[in-house]
C-alpha cells in the first residue's frame, strides 16, 4: 500500500481520530499518518478529556488510535465521554487495557495489531533460547573482556535438538516458534486453552504437566486474569532444572520466585524480553551468566514497524470507509 | 554404545594408539578411553618421536589419534617414523593438518569427526545471525548496564524473514543452516564446488555472484588453499551493507579487510566464531555493537562432545577389528 494522497491536505477535511497517548508507531510515522487523518492530541493538553473534546469541537469523534502506554479504556475513563465512538484501533497485540465487554455493549469495534509482530516475536523467542543454551551473549562478554587469550576454558553449552520444548500458548506467535524449533530437531509440546486438532505437537491440558515433560517453557500467551503469575513456584518446581523463555508479558511469571530460583540455582537459565515492572529489571539478574536480558524488543524490527504503520492505517481507513476492519477482536 | 569392558584392564593387552598431542576429547574422556586402548603419550616425553617409540618399544604402532592442536602430519614429521601406521583417527572435521596424498600412497586410512558437530555448528550460525540482526547481545548489554531505565531508546533490528541468505559451502553444516533458516522464511542461495541437483535453493557458481545477490553470507566451507581469504575486499564490496557469519575457519576471511570494512561502516554487521589468530581477536572489534564474538564454540556442546567420544572410540575399535571405519576421508 503506497501513500497516494496529495501532500498537505487540509486537516479539517480529514476524518478525526482521538489520541489519548501517542503510540511509538504514531510518533515514528506522524507525517505520513497526518496525510490521512486529523489527529486530536489530548496528550498535549492540560484539560480533562470532556473539556478537551469541547474545546476542539469533537464530541462527535468516532475513532481512537489507542496504545498500552495510554490510560485504561473503560466506561468511566473514556467511553462515557465519547457517545459517538464506534472504533478503537490499537497498535499492540494485547488489548488487556481495554474493557472489551463494555465496548461490545456499546457496539464499539476493537482492532489490534493482528500478527504483524508474530514472526519477529517468534524469531526472538528462538534467539533467546539458543542464546541461553549455547551461551552466545555470555561468550561475547568472554571474548570482549579479553579473557579468551588468558584462558581457553569456556563452559560447553547444550544441544538444541535434544530439548523437549513446551510452548505455552500455541497462537500466532507460539505456532511460529514451534515451526522454527522443529527445524532444529527439537521435540515440541504445548498447552493452550483448547487442543488444536490439526497440529502435530503433543498437547498437555495444563502448564504443570507441560512443565513436568519439558526442558524448556516458551511463554507466548497473552496476559489475562488466568495467565497472571501462571509461572508460579509450583510450575518452576515441575520444570526442574530447565529453561524459561518469556516473550509474552512480564506478569505471566511470578518474577520474585523466578529470581529466587535463579539465585538458588534451581533453574538452568532464562531468556526474558519482558518484566513485571519495565523498564525496571531485578538487579540480581545482572550478575548471572545463565540469563539473557532483552529490553522488550521481541516484536520490534524496522520491517514490522513499517508493516504496523500500514496495518493501523488500513484499519482506520476501513472504518471510515464503512468496510470491515482487518483485525477485529472477536 | 555403552562401555561394557571390565574396569581396569591391563594396558599391555590393549591395542596401542599413539598420541602426539592430546585432543580435548581425550583429556575429557581419558579414563573411559583407557579402558579400550593403550595410549602412547609422546606429548609427555622430552624425546624425539623415534627415540620415544624405541623407548616404549612401539615401532609397530599402527594407529594415531590426531588433533589439529598437534604437529602437522607429513612424511618427514611423523609418517617416516611409523612404518606400521595404517590408520589416523582425528577428533576434528578438518583434516587440513594431514598430508592426505602421502597417507593414500602409504595405504593409511584417515577418519574424521564426520557430522558429529554439524547440528551444533548450524545452530550456532543461526544464533549468530539472529543475534546480529536482532541485536540480542547488544540488548543484553543495554539492559545489564542499567541504561534501559534511563532511556527507552534502543535501536530497532531487522526481520530475519526478509533476508536473502547466501550459504558458502552447502555440505553437512551448510545444508543444516539452510533447513533452519528456511523455517524463518529466509530466501536461501548457495555456492559450492558443484551444484547440488536435489536441493531447492538457488545456486551461484562463485562467491562474488552469491555476495551480490545476498544480504548475508554464512561461511560453512572447509579451509583449503582455494578458500583461504576467499572473503576478500572484492567479495565484501559485492556484498555491500550486508552481514557476514563465520563458523568455518578464521582464515577463510581476510580479517584485516573485514575489520577495516567494519570500522569504516561499509558492512552492516558480523558474527564470528572463528578468527585468523585464535585466541587473539582484533581489539578494534570489542567496541562495536554490530559485532557478535564467540570463542570458537560453534561445534561444542556437552552432547556433541559425548557423541564425539563414542565416534572416535568406534572408529578406533573398527580399525582394530578389521572392520571399515565409520567416517573414512575419501
Per residue in A234-257, pLDDT tens? 999 999 999 999 999 999 999 999
The set of cell numbers assigned to A185 is 530437531
Per residue in A298-311, pLDDT tens? 988 999 999 999 99
Contact B291, B262 (CB under 8 A): yes
Domain with CATH 3.40.50.720 in chain A: 11-116+302-320, 118-293
Is B296 designated active site?
yes
Per residue in A170-192, pLDDT tens? 999 999 999 999 999 999 999 99
Q: Tell whether B171 is within 8 A of chain A (Cβ).
A: no
Q: Per-residue pLDDT averaged across A118-127, rounded? A: 97
Pairing of strands A216-219, A164-168: parallel
3-state secondary structure of B175: helix
Q: How far is CA B318 from CA B43, B91, B309, in A?
A: 25, 15, 14
Percent of chain A with pLDDT over 90: 88
Quick one: fold of B11-116+302-320?
Answer: Rossmann fold (3.40.50)
Is A296 designated active site?
yes
Q: Is A8 a residue whose pLDDT tops 80?
A: no
Q: How far is CA A308 from CA A7, A20, A29, B179, in A?
A: 21, 19, 10, 29
Which pLDDT tens digits describe chain B residue by residue (330 residues)?
445 555 678 888 999 999 999 998 999 999 999 999 999 999 999 999 999 999 988 888 999 999 988 899 999 999 999 999 999 999 988 888 999 999 999 999 999 999 999 999 999 999 999 999 999 999 999 999 999 988 868 999 999 999 999 999 999 999 999 999 999 999 999 999 999 999 999 999 999 999 999 999 999 999 889 999 999 999 999 999 999 999 999 999 999 999 999 999 999 999 999 999 999 999 999 999 999 999 999 988 999 999 999 999 999 999 999 999 999 997
Interface probe for A, chosen from B69, B123, B151, B306 (most Cβ of A below 10 Å), is B123
ipTM: 0.89
Query: How sure is the predictor about A4, in pLDDT bands with cuts at 50, 70 and 90?
Result: low
Sign of the Cα pseudo-torsion (B77, B79, B83, B87, in order): positive
Neighboring chain B residues of A286 at a CB cutoff of 8 Å: 143-144, 146
Q: Tell whether B131 is within 8 A of chain A (Cβ).
A: yes
Neighboring chain A residues of B280 at a CB cutoff of 8 Å: 149
Q: Which residue has the higher pLDDT, A2 or A188?
A: A188
Quick one: fold of B118-293?
Answer: Rossmann fold (3.40.50)
Q: Is A236 exposed, middle or buried (0-12, 13-18, 19+ CB in 10 A)?
A: buried
Question: Number of H helices and number of E strands within chain A?
Answer: 12, 12
Pairing of strands B243-246, B216-219: parallel
pLDDT at res. B76: 95
Q: Is A74 a residue whose pLDDT tops 70?
A: yes
Neighboring chain A residues of B241 at a CB cutoff of 8 Å: none
Is A229 designated active site?
no
Amino acid at each position: 500500500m503506497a501513500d497516494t494522497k496529495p501532500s498537505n491536505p487540509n486537516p479539517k477535511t480529514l476524518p478525526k481520530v482521538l489520541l489519548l497517548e501517542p503510540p511509538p508507531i504514531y510518533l515514528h510515522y506522524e507525517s505520513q499518518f497526518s496525510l490521512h487523518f486529523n489527529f486530536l492530541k489530548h496528550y498535549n493538553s492540560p484539560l480533562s478529556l470532556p473539556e478537551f473534546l469541547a474545546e476542539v469541537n469533537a464530541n462527535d469523534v468516532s475513532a481512537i488510535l489507542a496504545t498500552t502506554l495510554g490510560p485504561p479504556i473503560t466506561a468511566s475513563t473514556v467511553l462515557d465521554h465519547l457517545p459517538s465512538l464506534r472504533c478503537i484501533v490499537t497498535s499492540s497485540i494485547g488489548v488487556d487495557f481495554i474493557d472489551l465487554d463494555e465496548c461490545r455493549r456499546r457496539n464499539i469495534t476493537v482492532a489490534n495489531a493482528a500478527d504483524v509482530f508474530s514472526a519477529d516475536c517468534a524469531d526472538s523467542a528462538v534467539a533467546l533460547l539458543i542464546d541461553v543454551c549455547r551461551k552466545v551473549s555470555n561468550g561475547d562478554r568472554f571474548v570482549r573482556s579479553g579473557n579468551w587469550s588468558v584462558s581457553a576454558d569456556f563452559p560447553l553449552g547444550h544441544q538444541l535438538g535434544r530439548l523437549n520444548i513446551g510452548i505455552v500458548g500455541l497462537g500466532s506467535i507460539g505456532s511460529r516458534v514451534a515451526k522454527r524449533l522443529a527445524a532444529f530437531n527439537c521435540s515440541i509440546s504445548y498447552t493452550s486453552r483448547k487442543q488444536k486438532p490439526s497440529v502435530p505437537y503433543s498437547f498437555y491440558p495444563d502448564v504443570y504437566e507441560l512443565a513436568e515433560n519439558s526442558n524448556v517453557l516458551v511463554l507466548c500467551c497473552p496476559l489475562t486474569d488466568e495467565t497472571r503469575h501462571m509461572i508460579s513456584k509450583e510450575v518452576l518446581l515441575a520444570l526442574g532444572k530447565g529453561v524459561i523463555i518469556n516473550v509474552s508479558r512480564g506478569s505471566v511469571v511470578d518474577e520474585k520466585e523466578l529470581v529466587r530460583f535463579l539465585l538458588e540455582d534451581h533453574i538452568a537459565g532464562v531468556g526474558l524480553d519482558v518484566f513485571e515492572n519495565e523498564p525496571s529489571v531485578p538487579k540480581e539478574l545482572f550478575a548471572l551468566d545463565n540469563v539473557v536480558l532483552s529490553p522488550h524488543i521481541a516484536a520490534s524490527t524496522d520491517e514490522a514497524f513499517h508493516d504496523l504503520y500500514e496495518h493501523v492505517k488500513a484499519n482506520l481507513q476501513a472504518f471510515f470507509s464503512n468496510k470491515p476492519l482487518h483485525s477485529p477482536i472477536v
